[in-house]
Every structure is written in structure tokens, then in C-alpha cells.
Amino acid sequence: MTKRDKALGLIASMMPRRRLLGDQPVVRRVQGVKLEMPRSHLLPVYARLRPTYGQNLVELAAGLKDAAPDDTLAIMDVGANIGDSALQMMARTDARVLCVEGDPYWVRYLRTNVGSQPGAVIAEVLLAPEHADWSAASPVREHGTTRFVSDAEGAPSQPMSTATELRQRYPEFDNLRLLKSDTDGFDPVLVPAVAAAWHDTHPVLFFEFDPTLARLAGNDDPNKVWKDLAALGYDRLAVWDNAGDPLGQMDITDAAEHARTLEPRPVHHGYHFWDVAACHTEDQAARKVLDRLVPETFDVRGTWRDRKPRRQR
């Protein structure tokens, strides 16, 4: 058994025990930032076992800032949760971050963790595509994250908002440079909606692509996201595994074929979803950042066992 197998097995074994710890708030220092969170939250476990976890996003934000040091980096964090990503990106850059959270449970922690930060703005809304009715969406929480299901009798979410409405409501983010989306299955629908609303600024799109979760969320064709983004001018992808280790770059036209490695579960590549960064064809500065962070070409035949661990700074 490899070290990676042992780490994944340890995480799986700890999940039931972490749930037994309950929701008592605790303060933890994780990946350089202090966070209040429920005791059962798994973020400290992930970060301890896999130091690369979540750092691809932070490095991407830092790279975009370095590419335009005189500009204020405007970021939208959809599915902001307890604010860990937002805090880390603000710690590395002078970014302004619009933290969008649709679950009232996490908003409490989000306010505590980022509410006093001058660069943070909290939008207490459930982001939805244009013309969608998610008024019956109810949050289901597990392992420190939330997915939404259609349940009119369940606990309510925050009020709905479309990406267009968000742009109108928060004009200080009119020049959006980076989108981060982690919404447990809704990303293939929400990411193109944000890209369309900010079509004139061509933000880099960083999101979780998990086709299994997407289908549980009611999306029968998660791979449609690639066609939708291509239609908006996005042509290049960099992908990481779910621990934050780089897998390679690919043309967006090849993404649906390569994504077959993610299904059906269980997979044998050591990962079960991708972190994706999508770059617009006109965004040469972002392309250079991706070339530095993920220099190799994606090889569907390769596995994490074939790759050397990325050196940490």
C-alpha cells in the first residue's frame, strides 16, 4: 500500500469519528490562516495529510497578481464556506474577494473569519443560472461542505441571485479577474453563467469538476460545460487532482474525452475529481501563469504514481 493509499484510507476512517465531534465551534490555524470552524470540519485533516491541498488556487491567484502588480485583483469565491480560500488568497495578494455563500450555516463562520477583512465582501445568496428556479433548494451538509437538493420541506437556503444580478449589485467587482467555484456538483452549470455575465473581462475560471456529484445535482450531461465555455472563448485547461497536484494541460476540445478517467467510480488514478483552471483565448498573461504552474501536457494514461510530488515553497 502506498503512502497516498494510506492517507486516503485514513481520511475515510476519520469521517465518521469527525461527525461524532459535533458542531461545537473551534479555532484552528490551517495553512497559515486562523479559522473558526465546527469541530467536525475535515479541512485540517486534508491539509495535514496533503500539504498541496487547495494551494493550487492560492498559487494561481498569486501568479495573476504578479502578472499585473499595479492592478487590484478582483476575485469571486462561489461556495466560500468558512472563508479559508478567501483568507489565503488575501494573505498572498491585495485581492478583493466577493465571497458568495448560499448555506446560512456557513455564513456565520464566513462572517467571523473574513467579515473584518478590508478586502472581503460577503454575498449571502444562492447563485443560480438565469431563468432557473432553485427556490426549493435545501442544503445537505457533510464533511464540512454543502450540496443542495430540491426539497421544499427542508431547511431554506439563502435568497437566489443570478450572476448578472451579482455584477450589478457589486460594481467594485466589475473587472473580475478570477472565479473560484466549489459547489458540490453545480459547478458545470454555474461557471459558464459567471463567464457569460463577465464576458468582457474574460476571468480565469477555477472550479471543481466532479461528474458524479454533478449528476446527483440533476445535471445529466456535466461535460456540456466544455462546449459552453468554448462558445465563450475559453480554449485551454490546466487540471489538478483533488489533492492539488498538477495533472497537466489540455485543449478544451479534448476535455470530455479525458474526463472519462473520472467515471465510473471507483477510479484507479488516485483521484476522483479535477480542479480545473480555464483560460480565455485572449488571455496570454493567464496562459503564462498556467504554463508555470502546470507545465506538462495531460496524459490520460498516467497516474499519480507516475508523477513526482510537487516541491513546496
Percent of the chain at pLDDT > 90 equals 68
- How far CA 251 is from CA of 34, 190, 238, 240, 294, in Å, comes to 38, 21, 9, 15, 13
Domains (range + CATH), the chain:
52-306 (3.40.50.150)
CB atoms within 10 A of CB 221: 12
Question: Is residue 221 predicted with pLDDT exceeding 70?
Answer: yes
What spatial distance separates the first Cα and last Cα of the chain, rounded to whole Å?
28
The neighbouring-strand residues paired with 251 are 236
Please report how many Cα atoms fall inside a 13 Å half-sphere around the Cα of residue 47, on the Cβ side: 15
Q: Please choose, from the candidates 233, 251, 249, the residue with its C-alpha nearest in 3D space to the C-alpha of residue 298.
A: 249
What mean pLDDT comes out for the span 287-304?
85
Which one of 9-18, 190-199, 299-308 scores highest in mean pLDDT? 190-199
**Distance in angstroms (rounded) separating the CA atoms of residues 216 and 152:** 17
- Is residue 81 within 8 Å of residue 89, measured between CB atoms? no
Nearest to 236 by CA among 226, 246, 228: 226
Amino acid in position 87: L
Contact assessment for residue 274 and residue 248, using Cβ atoms and an 8 Å cutoff:
no
Task: Tell me the pairing of strands 160-161 and 145-150.
Answer: unpaired
Q: Which of 79, 177, 165 is nearest to 130 (CA)?
A: 165
Q: How confident is the model at residue 271 (pLDDT cuts 50, 70, 90)?
A: confident
CA–CA separation, 93 vs 105, rounded Å?
28
Kindly state the helix (H) or strand (E) to which residue 98 belongs, with its residue range.
strand 96-100
Nearest CA among 56, 14, 21, 50 for reference residue 37: 21
SS3 31: coil
Average confidence (pLDDT) over 234-262: 95
Q: For residue range 153-189, what is the model confidence (pLDDT) as tens digits?
A: 555 556 889 999 999 999 999 999 999 999 989 999 9
- pLDDT, mean over the chain: 86
* The predicted structure's pLDDT at residue 141: 58
| Res. 137: pLDDT tops 60 | yes
User: Are the C-beta atoms of 301 and 241 separated by less than 8 Å?
Assistant: no
Mean pLDDT within 230-251: 96
Phi, psi of 246 (to 5 degrees): -70, 140
pTM of the model: 0.86
**Selected residue with higher pLDDT from 6 and 249:** 249
- What per-residue confidence (pLDDT) applies to 300? 75
- Report the distance separating Cα 138 and Cα 227, nearest Å: 29
Residue 303: pLDDT above 50?
A: no
pLDDT at 4 over 60: no
CA pair distance 187, 179, nearest whole angstrom: 11
143-147 average pLDDT score: 59
Does the structure show a pLDDT above 50 at 18? no
